[in-house]
């Protein structure tokens, strides 16, 4: 499966996620929490859990890499096993509350082949609005696949 096809599959599932959890914005929750762990738990992991459920319906498995967590890095890392068996890594990076990026990479197949590794990066807003985060993810993924 090509990297573009993988991005298309991610985008399709994300559209379903966005349509399913689209809700009105609560104007009282616009303030960012001071603790990055609160932002990660309340917003980022919520969005990823919802996206994971929609990816699972398409036969993909998205799992958080809990070994990645430490006191310095607040953002999560995920490994996705595509329905065809390919691996894709989704890794959030940045410095809270200034920046948030999603890095998507396709690794090497094996040591006997030429590299087909690919990488893409999206800048995302740091917001407590799950809908805004989903919209940014969707727009970013559409930009990569174009």
pLDDT of 110-130, one tens digit each?
556 666 678 999 999 999 888
pLDDT of residue 23: 62
17 contact partners, CB below 8 Å, separation of at least 6: 47, 50, 51, 53, 54, 134
With a cut of 90, say whether residue 56 has pLDDT above it.
yes
pLDDT of residue 115: 63
Within its chain, how far is the Cα of 57 from the centroid?
Answer: 17
Q: Collapse the DSSP code of 44 into the 3-class scheme (helix H, G, I; strand E, B; otherwise coil) and give the result.
A: helix
Burial class (CB in 10 A: 0-12, 13-18, 19+), 24: exposed
User: pLDDT tens for residues 80-112?
Assistant: 999 988 889 999 999 999 999 999 998 756 556
* Short-list 43, 55, 20, 16, CA closest to 97: 43
Average pLDDT over residues 46-54: 94
Question: Residues 106, 3, 111, 52: what is their CA dihedral angle, to the nearest 10 degrees?
Answer: 40
Least confident of 26-30, 56-60, 80-84, 123-127: 26-30
Element (H, E) at 127: none
With a cut of 70, say whether residue 8 has pLDDT above it.
yes
Burial class (CB in 10 A: 0-12, 13-18, 19+), 14: buried
Within its chain, how far is the Cα of 130 from the centroid?
Answer: 12
- How far, in Å, are 19, 37, 45 from residue 26 at the CA level? 18, 21, 19
- In which band, very low, low, confident or very high, does the pLDDT at 58 lie, cut at 50, 70 and 90? very high
């Amino acid at each position: 499966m090509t990297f573009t096809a993988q991005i298309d599959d991610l985008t399709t599932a994300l559209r379903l996620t966005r349509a399913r959890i689209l809700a009105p914005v609560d104007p009282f929750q616009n303030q960012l929490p001071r603790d990055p762990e609160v932002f990660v738990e309340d917003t980022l992991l919520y969005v990823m859990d919802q996206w994971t459920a929609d990816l699972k319906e398409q036969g993909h498995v998205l799992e958080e890499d809990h070994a990645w967590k430490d006191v310095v890095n607040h953002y999560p890392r995920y490994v996705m096993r595509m329905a065809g068996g390919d691996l894709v890594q989704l890794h959030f990076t940045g410095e809270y509350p200034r920046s948030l990026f999603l890095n998507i990479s396709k690794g090497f197949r094996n040591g006997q082949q030429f590299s087909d590794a690919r990488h893409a990066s999206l800048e995302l807003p740091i917001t407590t609005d799950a809908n805004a985060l989903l919209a940014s993810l969707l727009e970013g993924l559409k930009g990569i696949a174009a």
